[in-house]
Structure 1
Amino acid sequence: MAVSAPPRVLTIAGSDSGGGAGIQADLKTMLALGVHGMSVLTAVTAQNSLGVQGYWELPAEAVRAQYRSVVDDIGVQAVKTGMLASVTLVETVAELLADCPAPVVVDPVGVSKHGDPLLAAEAVATVRDRLLPHATLATPNLHEVAQLTGITVLEEGEMRPAADALLAHGPRWVLVKGGHLPGEAADLLAGRDGEEYWFRSPRYDNRHTHGTGCTLASAIAAELAKGSPMPEAVAAAKEYVTGAIRGGFALGAGIGPVDHGWRTRH
């Protein structure tokens, strides 16, 4: 009996040996949301609940070969980017995505949950100038907003101007994540044509939040691959990651991961 394939989503990101973020979080999220996850590995990290002890980039030709292997044979309905590490890898991925027919979700990863750098300082401008123009959606947290625009957001009212500054660099949509502000976890989805949508969720008293950014971006990509319009895709992804944060569990001696399988346990 023939079985049709589910929607296909490609993640271009680094590996997290602890399993909480990066490629591992992306693929767990995609499985949980009913899409087929595929991967292009950009870097290998030595990482656990305490932080990132080191990382090693893959050669640009390895990244290019992985991408072409998957896209030219299997095809994609959405792409998500995460840790890209260096100027060379950012440029390589930007070139590959220049003619990508599917939606592209760019998570402009700058540092880990523990504050360890995952993007070379000199690569920030390359992300802004070369990668963001190919993004259907960019999903920066407030630290990444400051890195990319120089704007420090201290309250919700400053999130729209920050989003506009990012939109000026070319993405169709920007999701400014306000999780580092006090109060509710409020995120702003802003569009190039003036659209504005707010998404709010309770803030849970749970320190085990490793992988939230990767998980949210991957969930949005999964929903886009299934055909949802952007606001609906973000709403569904926000609901999924909120449940994953609520279910986050202790692992090791530091910050544990969110629970990607929370729906199967509740």
Structure 2
Amino acid sequence: MNQLPVVLTFTSHDPSGISALQGDIETLGSLGCHCTSALTGVFAKDSREVKWQHCIPASTLVAQARAVLEDMPVCVIKIGDLNSIENIEAVHSILMDYPHIPVVFDPTSVEEQEELTDAYTNLILPMCTIAILNPSELLTLIPYAESEEMAVNLILETECEYVLTNRFTKTDKTIHNQLHSNSGCLKDYTSVKLDQQFQGAGGVLSAAIAGYIAHGAEICEAVGDSHRLLQRSLKKALSIGMGSQFPYRLAGIAS
């Protein structure tokens, strides 16, 4: 019997469908994966802003995740925002029970709360196969780092295997997604920054990385394929509400 690779995503519900759970479902589905989920929070959100947010209790989060993990052969775990120290501790306990499953970590926002960032750094990063972090997230998670490069190296010292960063060069309007390991910068995936404002672009990239890993791709291959998929998604971006555009997340079907 043919079986789709299963990805478990820890993420929030965005009722606008622009980011979070629906983004993961569409991106992973377009790559031939089955997306399962454990909700970490519920938003009241439109295409412009978050109006209200509710954090899911840790016991509920654990019940959701274990129901899936005890029933299905999960190939990859994708982690977004966990929203509370209790949820971070709960997910850490789950990851400890499934150390063989690759972990993709992509926090869409890291709040500057010392206890929360310490929990991410001490409990989640050491369990990660790859962490996808922008410059602000790097320096929030590692506030004592004197540079982004130092922050990357300190994250790798936590036993996180790979870190994917992005850097914008104003002179030629290019975005550099750089993949780092203990061996240094392995690859620089470059693209030209588009003029539009997007929501959910980072989620497409991280979900695609999880999807390609679920199909057996090595990290460099998974990140490269995901980078190209994101560019196709942005070129076909949708504008449905009165706020930001968002990527066309079914672009993987054509690949």
**TM-score relative to the length of structure 2:** 0.91
CA RMSD of aligned residues (A): 2.2
CA distance in 2 between counterparts of 1:214 and 1:165 reads 24
Deviations 1:154-177 (A, max 9, x none): xxxx65443212212220111112
Measured after TM superposition, the shift of residue 202 of structure 1 is: 2.2
- Residue 40 of structure 2 corresponds to 42
SS in 2 for 1:98: helix
1:77 to 66, 69, 75: 75
Measured after TM superposition, the shift of residue 129 of structure 1 is: 1.1
- Residue 92 of structure 1 corresponds to 90
Amino acid at match of 2:220: P
Measured after TM superposition, the shift of residue 195 of structure 1 is: 5.3
Amino acid at match of 1:246: K
User: Is 2:122 the partner of 1:129?
Assistant: yes
CA distance in 2 between counterparts of 1:264 and 1:76 reads 22
- Residue 114 of structure 1 corresponds to none
**Counterparts of 1:101-116 in structure 2 under 5 Å?**
101-110=100-109
Gaps of 5+ in 1: 112-116
Measured after TM superposition, the shift of residue 149 of structure 1 is: 1.6
User: Is 2:134 the partner of 1:145?
Assistant: no
1:199 to 181, 185, 189: 189
**Counterparts of 1:42-61 in structure 2 under 5 Å?**
42-61=40-59
Q: Percent identity?
A: 28
CA distance in 1 between counterparts of 2:202 and 2:11 reads 12
- Residue 176 of structure 2 corresponds to 186
Measured after TM superposition, the shift of residue 120 of structure 1 is: 5.7
- Residue 238 of structure 2 corresponds to 249
CA distance in 1 between counterparts of 2:10 and 2:181 reads 24
Aligned in 2, Cα 1:230/1:250: closer, same or farther, shift over 3 Å?
A: same
**TM-score relative to the length of structure 1:** 0.88
User: Is 2:22 the partner of 1:33?
Assistant: no
- Residue 210 of structure 1 corresponds to 199
- Residue 219 of structure 1 corresponds to 208
Measured after TM superposition, the shift of residue 121 of structure 1 is: 5.8
Measured after TM superposition, the shift of residue 265 of structure 1 is: 8.2
> Runs ≥4 in structure 1, deviation > 6 angstroms?
none
Aligned in 2, Cα 1:90/1:233: closer, same or farther, shift over 3 Å?
A: same
Deviations 1:67-113 (A, max 9, x none): 111111112111100021111111111111123221100112326xx
Measured after TM superposition, the shift of residue 262 of structure 1 is: 3.5
SS in 1 for 2:97: coil
Measured after TM superposition, the shift of residue 17 of structure 1 is: 1.0
Gaps of 5+ in 2: none
- Residue 235 of structure 1 corresponds to 224
Structure holding more strand per residue: 2
